[in-house]
Amino acid sequence: MKVIIVDDEIIERKAMRKLISDSFTHIEVVAEAANGRIAIEEAKKHQPDIMFMDIHMPGIDGLEAIRHISAELPQTKFIMVSAYDSFEYAKQAMKQGVKEYILKPSNKQETLESLLRLEKEITKERMQVEQTEKLAKQQILTAILQNEVTADIKAMYQKLFRDAQTAYFFVITGSDHKTISDLLAEKTYLAKEQGDKLIVMLLSDKKSLHHVKADALTLARYLCQSQPEATIGIGLPNSELTKLSISYQQALLASTQLTAEGRVSYGFPLLQEHEDNTVRKLEKAILEAITNGRIEQATDYFTLYYEHLTKQEKTVRNLREWALQVKHALEDKGVSLRETNVLEAETKTDFLELIRYFTEKIILQGEGNDPISKAKTYIHDHYRESFSLEDVADYVELTPTYFTKLFKDQTQQTFIDYVTDYRIEKSKELLRQTNLSLKEIAYEVGYKDPNYYSRVFKKWTNISPKQFRSTLK
């Protein structure tokens, strides 16, 4: 944290510097100033977090200096220092947003407490700003991906990324997402995990699209060298925010083409190939994603497929014919889809739901990949921890609604009842085999409130944990 001390008395400045330096290692006095004019210059140069500002100085006084500095550096905080116990000065200082006011000769404890209060306030404000920026960045990325860039999104983008001239997308598969994030640490980017893919929007301060394309290839090569299993589809750079969704679609297409070809790890989409060839490759990619149980990948490829069909002015009938072919291909693999009527699908949303349903059915088909068995294993491994139905549904890659119905159908129990039953049985084992207190047992089986655990136990067994233990004796 950076501090500037402003006082026309050199002894006061040096004493204040020494007090701060001796008391803190994380707070640095970056400059001193003998008057308001110098204070304004030093503030512009160092952009301090906090300034100790004397009120009475020759030329520009403390209050006027604060007005100048606050106009340019609104985040800077001030501690007013004065040899005069004047309420009028305090009132004027408060009008400028000054919250701390100490008198000369300053009391050491009072000075340090003022400094710590402002530091705490600054830390809190920074955390709020970081959280707000994080949410805004995700909002921007989602709007671009969904091609819903509004005036508000543009304003947020320009405020957060003032230097950005162009941007482009990577769609990365087969990589460790954390490692990729570490490798991109020095880049300006937005990212979102989507199934097994990492979607990355990279921003550049260069205007030349040719230079940005070269940078994109260099970066993709570097990432693939660090992550040999990774495949990176690259979208063409664009300087217009409203057209960046095209870059994303291109990156997604490139990723599909690279996966199908299997010869190179990264590259731009082969936009020059015939549209029909692209459509056929996308049909193949969708079917592969479905048969591999990858819901998000299948729906992403379908979105791209739908756009290509729209360009070719294909009708809903064409989509139904294709969906029927997919259904037949899955039935040939032994998947039961007799009750599915693809001819009822009319909208894009209908077909997306159909794909989700196909993929969920194929997940059930896979030997050793039964989602309910996986869910039970998850519960058995994590019953000591806090988790929700949504967490487990996400783990087995099913929608919460579908997972809830499937779980009840296969276990004859609701998800909550199954988890509770398992935790109570585990607590019975601990009551039988250990001398742990009821509080410790409650924590061991995932209940943070021992009283709540006792109520659940009694509801489940008709006796309290204490009574259960006493019957064993």
Cβ-proximal residues to 304 (8 Å cutoff; 6+ apart), any chain: 249, 252, 253, 256, 282
Same domain, 292 and 383: no
Given its phi and psi angles, is residue 343 left (phi above 0), alpha (psi -120 to 50 degrees) or beta?
alpha
How many domains, in total, are found in the chain? 4
Same domain, 357 and 398: no
- What is the span of the domain harbouring residue 181? 161-269
**Alpha carbon distance 400, 404 (integer Å):** 6
- Beta strands 197-204 and 189-194, pairing class: antiparallel
Predicted TM-score (pTM) of this structure: 0.50
Same domain, 301 and 258: no
**Where is the domain boundary, 269, 284, 300?**
269
Same domain, 354 and 378: no
Contact criterion met (CB below 8 Å) for 80 and 93: yes
Same domain, 167 and 118: no
**Does 151 map to a domain?**
no
- For 376, the token pair is 């039970």
- CATH number, domain with residue 439: 1.10.10.60
Per-residue pLDDT of the chain (473 residues), as tens digits, is: 999 999 988 988 999 999 999 999 999 999 999 999 999 999 999 999 999 998 888 888 888 899 999 999 989 999 988 876 555 666 676 767 787 888 777 788 888 999 999 999 988 888 888 888 888 899 999 899 888 888 989 999 999 999 999 999 999 998 888 889 889 988 999 999 887 889 999 999 998 888 898 889 889 989 988 888 899 999 999 999 988 988 998 899 888 888 776 667 888 887 545 556 778 888 888 888 888 878 877 888 888 888 778 776 667 777 888 888 888 888 777 677 766 778 788 888 888 888 888 888 777 666 445 678 788 888 988 888 888 898 998 888 788 888 888 888 888 889 999 999 999 988 988 888 888 889 999 999 998 888 999 999 998 988 888 888 887 65
- CATH number, domain with residue 35: 3.40.50.2300
**Does 140 map to a domain?**
no
For 32, which DSSP code? E
**Alpha carbon distance 151, 99 (integer Å):** 36
Same domain, 338 and 377: no
Same domain, 102 and 63: yes
Cβ-proximal residues to 2 (8 Å cutoff; 6+ apart), any chain: 28, 30, 46, 47, 48, 49, 50
Same domain, 236 and 342: no
Cβ-proximal residues to 215 (8 Å cutoff; 6+ apart), any chain: 204, 206
Cβ-proximal residues to 244 (8 Å cutoff; 6+ apart), any chain: 144, 149, 167, 168, 169, 201, 238
**Does 130 map to a domain?**
no
**Does 145 map to a domain?**
no
**Does 147 map to a domain?**
no
**Alpha carbon distance 384, 444 (integer Å):** 6
Same domain, 320 and 412: no
**Does 146 map to a domain?**
no
**Where is the domain boundary, 310, 342, 366?**
366
CA proximity to 199, closest of 144, 279, 258: 144
Same domain, 254 and 334: no
Same domain, 13 and 72: yes
**Alpha carbon distance 30, 366 (integer Å):** 65
**Does 139 map to a domain?**
no
**Where is the domain boundary, 366, 385, 418?**
366
For 238, which DSSP code? B
- CATH number, domain with residue 175: 3.30.70.120
Same domain, 184 and 250: yes
- Beta strands 50-54 and 28-33, pairing class: unpaired
CA proximity to 322, closest of 339, 301, 336: 301
